[in-house]
C-alpha cells in the first residue's frame, strides 16, 4: 500500500510538475510565436545536445548521488561530481565541435552549450541529493523555479533587445545561475556544510552504479531523441521544430508517471524490496496509467484549430503527432514505475537490455519510416519502440515476482 507520506509527496510532486508543464507550455508558445518553427528547431537540437552531454555528466551527479548519499554522506560525493561535470561537459562540447553533430555551424552555440552543460550538472547533483535525502519539497521547488525564471528572462530579453532565437539560450543560462544559488542555500540546510573530500573507493562505487544507469539512459536517449537528428538530416530544422513541439506536448503527459516513479524510487532506496514496496509499485503503475490515459483523451479532444491558434499555422500537424505518439506515451506511463523499481534496487542490467533493444529498433525503423512517411514515420517508430520497451520491463518484473512467490511458497 501507499503510505500517507508517499501520497503527500506524490500529490505535491504532481502539482509541482503540473505547474512546470504549464510554465513550459507558455515557454513553448513564446518560442513558436517569437521565432517560429525554425527557432523551435534550434531550441530542440540545443536541448537534445545538452541531454546527450548530461548522460555522461550524470554518471557522478544523478542517480548515484541519490543511491549513495545516505551511505557515504554528501561531502565524498560533491567533489567528484564537480570535477566530473567540468571534464565531461568540456569533452562533450569538443566532440560536438569536431563531429558532424555540430548541426548549427555556430561557435557561439557551442560556447552556450558548454556553459549550460556545466550548470545543468551542478543542479542535477543538488536535485539527486534531495531525492536521496527524501527532501522532495526542495526537489519540487528547484524544478519549478528553473522554468519560471526561464520564462521571466525570455520576456525580459524579448521586450528589451532586438530579439533572435539566441535570446532563449541566454535566458536558459541565467535561469540556471539563479537556481544554482538557491540550491546551494537549500543544500546547506539539508546536509550542512559540505567538505571537500575525495575517496577513491566511493568514486569506484559511484562510477559502477552511475555508469550502468547512464548507459541505460544513453540508449533510452537514442529511443526518444535519435529521431531529431534523422529529421534534420532528411528534412529541415523547421520540420524538427514542428516535430519537437508535438513531442514536447505528448511527453508532458509523463509528469504523472515521473512524479509517482520518483517518489517510489526514493522509498525503495530507503526500504528495499519488501512485500509492501512491491504492492505499492503495482498500485502506483495503475494510477499512473489511468491519469495519463485521461490526459491523452483530453488532448485528443481538442480541435486542430486550437493548436493552430496557439502556435500559428506552421504547427498545424501537431495534433497528428500527438495521436501517433499516444500509444507509446501510455505504455511508458505504465512501465516507468517498474523501471524505477529496478533502478532503486541497483538492477541496472535489466534497464540496459531494454534500452539497447529499443535503440537498435529505433535506428532500423527510422531508416525505413522517415524516408517513407516523414515526421509520421518518426512518430510511429517512437511509439512502437516505447511499447516494446515497456513490455520488456513489465515482463522482467512479473517474472521476478513469480520467482519470489515460488521461492516463498
- Over residues 255-265, the pLDDT tens digits come to 888 888 877 88
**Main-chain dihedrals φ then ψ at residue 27, nearest 5 degrees:** -60, -45
Q: Among residues of the chain, what percentage have pLDDT more than 70?
A: 94
Task: Tell me if residue 197 falls in helix, strand or coil.
Answer: coil
Say what the pLDDT of residue 383 is.
96
DSSP state of 165: T
d(CA 327, CA 319): 14
State yes or no: pLDDT of 397 exceeds 80. Answer: yes
User: What count of residues does the chain have?
Assistant: 409
Cβ atoms of residues 24 and 172 within 8 Å = no
State yes or no: pLDDT of 10 exceeds 80. Answer: no
Task: Tell me if residue 164 falls in helix, strand or coil.
Answer: coil
Mean pLDDT check: name the lowest of 11-15, 47-51, 168-172, 297-301.
Answer: 11-15
Q: What does 114-146 look like in DSSP terms, one character per residue?
A: HHHHHHHHHHHHHHHHHHHTT-HHHHHHHHHHH
d(CA 376, CA 31): 23
Q: What does 260-319 look like in DSSP terms, one character per residue?
A: HHHHHHHHHHHH-S-HHHHHHHHHHHHHHHHHHHHHHHHHHHS-HHHHHHHH-GGGTTHH
Domain locations along the chain: 4-408
State yes or no: pLDDT of 101 exceeds 70. Answer: no
- Over residues 120-131, the pLDDT tens digits come to 999 999 998 888
Distance (Å) of CA 95 to CA 80, 90, 114, 223? 22, 9, 11, 21
Q: What does 66-86 look like in DSSP terms, one character per residue?
A: HHHHHHH-SHHHHHHHHHHHH
DSSP state of 345: T
- Over residues 22-40, the pLDDT tens digits come to 898 899 898 888 888 888 8
Q: How many CA atoms lie within 13 A of 231 on its CB side?
A: 27
CA end-to-end span of the chain, whole Å? 22
Q: What is the mean pLDDT of residues 135-156?
A: 90
Q: What is the mean pLDDT of residues 350-357?
A: 91
Say what the pLDDT of residue 91 is.
93
d(CA 13, CA 16): 5
Count of Cβ atoms closer than 10 Å to residue 274 Cβ: 10
Query: Between 253 and 270, where is the model more confident?
Result: 253
Q: What is the mean pLDDT of residues 368-385?
A: 95
State yes or no: pLDDT of 376 exceeds 60. Answer: yes
What b/e string do you get for 7-35 counting C-beta neighbours within 10 Å, with b at 16 or more? eebbebbbebbebbbebbebbbebbbebb
Cβ atoms of residues 202 and 80 within 8 Å = yes
Q: What does 31-67 look like in DSSP terms, one character per residue?
A: HHHHHHHHHHHHHHHHHHHHHHHHHHHTTTTSHHHHH
State yes or no: pLDDT of 301 exceeds 80. Answer: yes
Query: Between 57 and 13, where is the model more confident?
Result: 57
Query: Between 159 and 409, where is the model more confident?
Result: 159
Q: What is the mean pLDDT of residues 222-249?
A: 91
d(CA 362, CA 221): 11
Say what the pLDDT of residue 103 is.
55
Mean pLDDT check: name the lowest of 116-130, 163-177, 212-226, 256-270.
Answer: 256-270
Count of Cβ atoms closer than 10 Å to residue 398 Cβ: 11
| Average of per-residue pLDDT values in the chain | 87
d(CA 280, CA 337): 10
Cell of 138: 526542495
Say what the pLDDT of residue 6 is.
63
Q: What is the mean pLDDT of residues 65-93?
A: 88
The pTM of this model reads 0.84
State yes or no: pLDDT of 102 exceeds 60. Answer: no
Say what the pLDDT of residue 9 is.
66
Task: Tell me if residue 403 falls in helix, strand or coil.
Answer: helix
d(CA 32, CA 311): 6
- Over residues 316-328, the pLDDT tens digits come to 899 999 999 999 9
Please give the radius of gyration of the chain, using alpha carbons only, rounded to the nearest integer. Answer: 21
Amino acid at each position: 500500500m501507499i503510505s500517507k507520506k508517499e501520497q503527500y509527496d506524490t500529490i505535491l510532486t504532481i502539482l509541482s510538475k503540473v505547474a512546470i508543464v504549464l510554465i513550459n507550455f507558455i515557454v513553448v508558445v513564446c518560442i513558436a510565436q517569437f521565432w517560429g518553427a525554425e527557432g523551435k528547431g534550434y531550441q530542440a537540437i540545443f536541448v537534445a545536445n545538452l541531454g546527450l552531454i548530461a548522460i555522461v555528466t550524470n554518471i557522478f551527479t544523478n542517480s548515484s548521488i541519490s543511491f549513495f548519499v545516505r551511505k557515504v554522506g554528501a561531502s565524498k560525493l560533491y567533489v567528484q561530481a564537480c570535477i566530473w561535470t567540468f571534464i565531461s561537459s568540456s569533452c562533450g562540447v569538443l566532440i560536438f565541435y569536431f563531429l558532424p553533430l555540430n548541426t548549427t555551424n555556430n561557435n557561439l552555440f557551442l560556447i552556450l552549450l558548454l556553459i549550460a552543460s556545466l550548470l545543468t550538472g551542478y543542479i542535477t547533483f543538488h536535485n539527486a541529493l534531495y531525492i536521496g535525502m527524501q527532501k522532495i519539497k526542495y526537489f519540487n521547488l528547484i524544478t519549478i523555479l528553473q522554468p519560471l525564471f526561464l520564462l521571466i528572462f525570455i520576456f525580459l530579453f524579448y521586450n528589451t533587445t532586438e530579439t533572435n532565437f539566441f535570446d532563449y539560450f541566454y535566458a536558459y543560462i541565467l535561469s540556471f545561475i539563479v537556481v544554482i544559488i538557491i540550491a546551494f542555500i537549500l543544500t546547506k540546510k539539508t546536509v550542512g556544510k559540505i567538505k571537500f573530500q575525495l575517496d577513491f573507493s566511493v568514486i569506484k562505487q559511484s562510477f559502477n552504479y552511475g555508469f550502468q544507469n547512464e548507459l541505460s539512459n544513453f540508449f533510452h536517449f537514442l529511443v526518444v531523441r535519435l529521431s531529431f537528428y534523422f529529421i534534420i538530416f532528411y528534412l529541415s530544422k523547421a520540420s524538427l521544430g514542428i516535430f519537437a513541439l508535438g513531442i514536447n506536448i505528448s511527453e508532458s503527459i509523463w509528469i504523472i508517471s515521473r512524479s509517482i516513479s520518483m517518489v517510489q524510487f526514493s522509498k525503495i532506496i530507503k526500504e528495499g524490496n519488501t512485500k509492501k514496496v512491491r504492492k505499492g509499485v503495482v498500485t502506483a503503475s495503475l494510477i499512473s496509467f489511468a491519469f495519463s490515459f485521461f490526459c491523452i483523451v483530453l488532448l485528443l479532444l481538442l480541435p486542430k484549430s486550437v493548436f493552430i491558434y496557439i502556435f500559428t499555422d506552421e504547427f498545424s500537424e501537431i495534433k497528428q503527432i500527438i495521436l501517433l505518439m499516444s500509444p507509446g506515451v501510455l505504455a511508458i506511463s505504465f512501465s516507468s514505475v517498474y523501471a524505477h523499481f529496478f533502478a532503486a534496487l541497483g538492477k541496472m542490467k535489466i534497464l540496459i537490455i531494454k534500452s539497447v533493444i529499443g535503440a537498435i529498433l529505433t535506428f532500423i525503423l527510422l531508416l525505413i519510416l522517415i524516408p517513407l512517411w516523414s515526421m509520421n514515420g518518426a512518430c510511429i517508430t517512437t511509439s512502437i519502440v516505447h511499447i516494446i520497451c515497456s513490455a520488456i520491463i513489465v515482463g522482467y518484473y512479473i517474472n521476478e515476482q513469480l520467482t519470489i512467490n515460488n521461492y516463498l511458497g
